[in-house]
Amino acid sequence: GAVVSQHPSWVICKSGTSVKIECRSLDFQATTMFWYRQFPKQSLMLMATSNEGSKATYEQGVEKDKFLINHASLTLSTLTVTSAHPEDSSFYICSAGTGPGPYNEQFFGPGTRLTVL
């Protein structure tokens, strides 16, 4: 199957700093990428959907200015957690697909664990 990578796999930062997480589709062009947040022993919460070349669509309750998503190319999407605080500590997962919706299979990255001190 297709491969999606995330970098870094884990990051520790101080409160108030910004952290960028990269999501790359390694062997296919991803027109759509999804970003999720997963708390310990909980499900994935969809944060936003990004389509290449356009603004991301955020889920209700997700702060757009806090979680900046950029999908500048067909193989790369980034999530920047701005002015991170301890409550932003979580496991962030991206998925990438050749299109939106259920007909286009989404391939998941291994996730990035963010710890904010």
Partner 1 sequence: AQSVTQPDIHITVSEGASLELRCNYSYGATPYLFWYVQSPGQGLQLLLKYFSGDTLVQGIKGFEAEFKRSQSSFNLRKPSVHWSDAAEYFCAQGDMRFGAGTRLTVKP
Residues in contact with partner 1 by CB under 8 A are 1, 4, 34, 41-44, 46, 49, 93, 95, 101-103, 105-111
Least Cβ distance, residue 29 to partner 1 (angstroms): 18
Name the residue nearer to partner 1 (CB basis): 11 or 46.
Answer: 46
Name the residue nearer to partner 1 (CB basis): 84 or 106.
Answer: 106
Name the residue nearer to partner 1 (CB basis): 74 or 91.
Answer: 91
**Alpha carbon of 1 to those of 11, 19, 71: distances in Å?**
27, 29, 22
Which of these, 75, 55, 76, lies nearest to 67 by C-alpha position? 55
Phi/psi region, residue 11 (left: phi>0; alpha: psi -120 to 50; beta: rest), is beta
